[in-house]
């Protein structure tokens, strides 16, 4: 589901007109979103200098490379919080955040709420399962069987 989401976002993003270098950078980011990423690494992979990548990326997207990566990781985290049973710690690790607390701080900065609150408000909200087998997050973010 994470890769489907990333592929959907990649197709939408391509509808815009970006230079070849930025298109390559965006592709590299999408394909390596679950790994630690740096401007230097991305620039090396696409064959340009990091300073040039930074300037060009900002000019064409209106945001820094690191801000863009952070937003895409938070969008993936939102998807995982709504549609998976992974704990916040597992999501943080999966998306290459340095720690759970760093993930929570970045998530709150980007969305205005904590990951746990986001999950409580949105967990499988589009799924209408009333057979008593669905799960809800508890105060620590672990999933427990819904009480009827």
Nearest to 46 by CA among 20, 76, 81, 16: 20
Based on the number of CB atoms within 10 Å of its own CB, is 58 exposed (0-12), middle (13-18) or buried (19 or more)? Answer: middle
The pTM (predicted TM-score) of the whole model is: 0.74
Tally of helices (H runs) and strands (E runs) in the chain = 8, 2
Nearest to 84 by CA among 124, 140, 120, 141: 124
pLDDT of residue 36: 94
pLDDT of residue 8: 60
pLDDT of residue 91: 97
Based on the number of CB atoms within 10 Å of its own CB, is 23 exposed (0-12), middle (13-18) or buried (19 or more)? Answer: middle
Report the chain's terminal Cα–Cα distance, integer Å: 29
pLDDT in single tens digits along all 148 residues of the chain: 555 666 666 655 555 689 999 999 999 999 999 999 999 999 999 999 999 999 999 999 999 999 999 999 999 999 999 999 999 999 999 999 999 999 999 999 999 999 999 999 987 765 544 544 455 556 555 566 666 5
Tell me how far apart the alpha carbons of residues 35 and 71 are, in angstroms, rounded to a whole number: 15
Tokens standing for 73? 């990781």
pLDDT of residue 131: 44
């Amino acid at each position: 589901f994470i890769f489907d989401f990333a592929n959907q976002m990649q197709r939408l993003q391509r509808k815009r007109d970006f230079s070849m270098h930025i298109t390559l950078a965006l592709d590299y980011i999408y394909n390596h979103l679950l790994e630690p990423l740096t401007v230097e690494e991305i620039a090396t992979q696409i064959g340009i200098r990091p300073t040039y990548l930074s300037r060009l990326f900002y000019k064409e997207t209106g945001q820094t490379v690191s801000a863009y990566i952070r937003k895409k990781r938070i969008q993936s985290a939102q998807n995982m919080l709504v549609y998976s049973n992974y704990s916040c710690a597992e999501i943080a690790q999966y998306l290459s955040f340095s720690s759970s607390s760093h993930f929570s701080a970045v998530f709150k900065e980007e969305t205005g709420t904590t990951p746990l609150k986001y999950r409580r408000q949105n967990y499988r909200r589009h799924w209408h399962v009333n057979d008593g087998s669905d799960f809800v997050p508890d105060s620590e973010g672990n999933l427990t069987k819904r009480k009827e």
